Copies of this chain bind each other. A is one copy, B any other.
Amino acid sequence: MEAPSTQQNSLYAIIIYMDAIITLDIGGTNTRCAVFHTEQDDPVLIDRTATTTENEIAIERIAQIIEKNWPKDRQVLGIAAAAPGSVDVVQNKIILAPNVPGWKDYPLGDLLAQRFGVKVLVNNDARMAAVGEWKRGAGRGHNDIVYFTVSTGLGGGVITGGQILHGALGIATELGHIVLQDDGPACGCGKFGHFEAFSSGTGIHNYVSQKIKEGSPTALKSPSPNTKEIAEAAMVGDALALEAFNRAGYYLGIGVANYLHIFNPSCVIFGGGVSQSGDLIFKPFRESLEKHVLSPTYLANLKIALAELGDNAGLIGTYEYIKQNL
């Protein structure tokens, strides 16, 4: 950038440098809030508050954290929120958020816009994390990306031809909710045999709990161990725990092969807690992927990477998203 050469240019620079954007990442446990100065890529502050499942209080909490962090010396151009569940991105309305029971057809965008008098956009949290990784993380420079977040559930987002995949209403890329096995285990959504029911943390947990109930030998003490406990047991060679990760990785390979055939991405990214399990899940995943892919061409120039932005992917992705749509 050239140095300002006249007083007028300096003044102009000061004016454009006074904008800010506020982004939110509403999670099951915490709601995080970031303030960005539009001349910078990284947030100037990140704050958090507890998410509550009570409808009225939830919106008050969100409004409070925005008010608390509202920049005094800058013009706020807009607020963008990443929310869990199905989001109607045309109306900026939460259709259904499994972790916030009161939020059914909930007009979060309109409520915040009325309160703060600025443009508000609401989008799905996994999709916003995908945008973050695309613009600033492991997907930089790629136009065709499939991003998976493998944690309690299994969600994701897709960039295709340099464009964010939304679908007609914004409820596309429910990547965890495709049937891989019709007579498979129950999914959190109430259906059966979904990708999420096999390869998410909940899928691993449910499988181990069921096997313990059936009397499978294991060093695990709890009758209902969490994913972290199962990973630790697998690390020291517990057969049941290893079997659970092998199974999750095997289905992860099937699911990802499906998505290579559907999207032919040049980059696949894994975020979320379960994807921190290393070879435990990625060794069986790679074997299964190679077995299930239609042709080696899909793998030839494919980057497979872990997410780089960690917890901030959603806050950063939401910032990049609203910048594109102001």
Chain B residues closer than 8 Å to A189, beta-carbon distance = 294
Chain B residues closer than 8 Å to A96, beta-carbon distance = 295
Q: What per-residue 1/0 map shows which CB atoms of A160-194 lie under 8 Å from chain B?
A: 11011111111111110111111000000101000
Chain B residues closer than 8 Å to A166, beta-carbon distance = 161, 264
- Quick check: B295 and A86 within 8 Å, CB to CB? yes
Closest to A156 in B: B262
Instruction: Report the minimal beta-carbon distance from A127 to chain B, rounded to whole angstroms.
Output: 12
Cβ of A309 < 8 Å from any Cβ of B?
A: no
A168/B266 contact (C-beta < 8 A), A161-B163, A178-B261 known: yes
A297/B266 contact (C-beta < 8 A), A161-B165, A258-B178 known: no
Instruction: Report the minimal beta-carbon distance from A201 to chain B, rounded to whole angstroms.
Output: 20
Q: What per-residue 1/0 map shows which CB atoms of A259-271 lie under 8 Å from chain B?
A: 0011111100000
- Quick check: A257 and B168 within 8 Å, CB to CB? no
Chain B residues closer than 8 Å to A182, beta-carbon distance = 180-181, 254
A173/B266 contact (C-beta < 8 A), A180-B182, A297-B86, A301-B168 known: no
A residues 251-285 near B (Cβ < 8 Å) are: 254, 257-258, 261-266
Closest to A182 in B: B181
- Quick check: B265 and A168 within 8 Å, CB to CB? yes
Cβ of A312 < 8 Å from any Cβ of B?
A: no
Q: Which of B163, B164, B169, B265 contacts A167 (CB 8 A)?
A: B265
Q: Which of A95, A174, A266 has the most CB of B within 10 A?
A: A174
Q: Which of B160, B170, B177, B180 contacts A165 (CB 8 A)?
A: B160
Cβ of A25 < 8 Å from any Cβ of B?
A: no
Cβ of A292 < 8 Å from any Cβ of B?
A: yes
A178 to B295, alpha carbons, bound, how many Å? 13
- Quick check: B169 and A297 within 8 Å, CB to CB? yes
Cβ of A116 < 8 Å from any Cβ of B?
A: no
